Amino acid sequence: MKARLPQGMGGGPGNMQAMLRQAQKMQEDAAALQQELEEKQYSATAGGGAVKATVNGKYEIVDLVIQPEVIDPEDAEMLTDLVIAAVNEANRQAAEDAQQQMARVTGGLQMPGMF
């Protein structure tokens, strides 16, 4: 008795070519999306808006705004904490967006080297 493959499975070389074309298209779409994501910017604030950090999709800080009233030479540690919190949140937003956008392109398939 021969085992039967479900509809659309198997089919020989023609089906393999279609799979390869689909994989190549997915790879091209993922590369284009990665380029687009690298150019996006993400902003986050800390301390009720006292510090605002903006990062790009490459997780580089592109802007940092510190309200003058939080600059206290006697408490540099607090300002440091606010900057770190704002930058970390902006980076988290960038990573989450990248993951969601890439999942749309790849259908949830994990592609090595992509995020």
User: Which homologous superfamily is 14-106 in?
Assistant: Nucleoid-associated protein YbaB-like domain (3.30.1310.10)
Give the ranges where 5-115 is alpha helix by DSSP (H). 13-39, 76-106
- Confirm whether pTM is higher than 0.85: no
- 107 has pLDDT over 80: no
Determine the Cα–Cα distance for residues 90 and 86; give it in Å rounded to an integer: 6
Q: Quick check: 24 and 104 in contact, CB under 8 A?
A: no
Mean pLDDT value of segment 10-29: 79
Percent of the chain with pLDDT over 90: 50
DSSP 108: T
- How confident is the prediction for the chain on average, in pLDDT? 85
Retrieve residue 64's tokens.
Answer: 């940092």
Give the end-to-end CA distance of the chain in Å, rounded to a whole number: 45
- 24 has pLDDT over 60: yes
- Could you state, in order of their start, the residue ranges of all structural domains in the chain? 14-106
pLDDT band at 87 (very low <50, low <70, confident <90, very high): very high
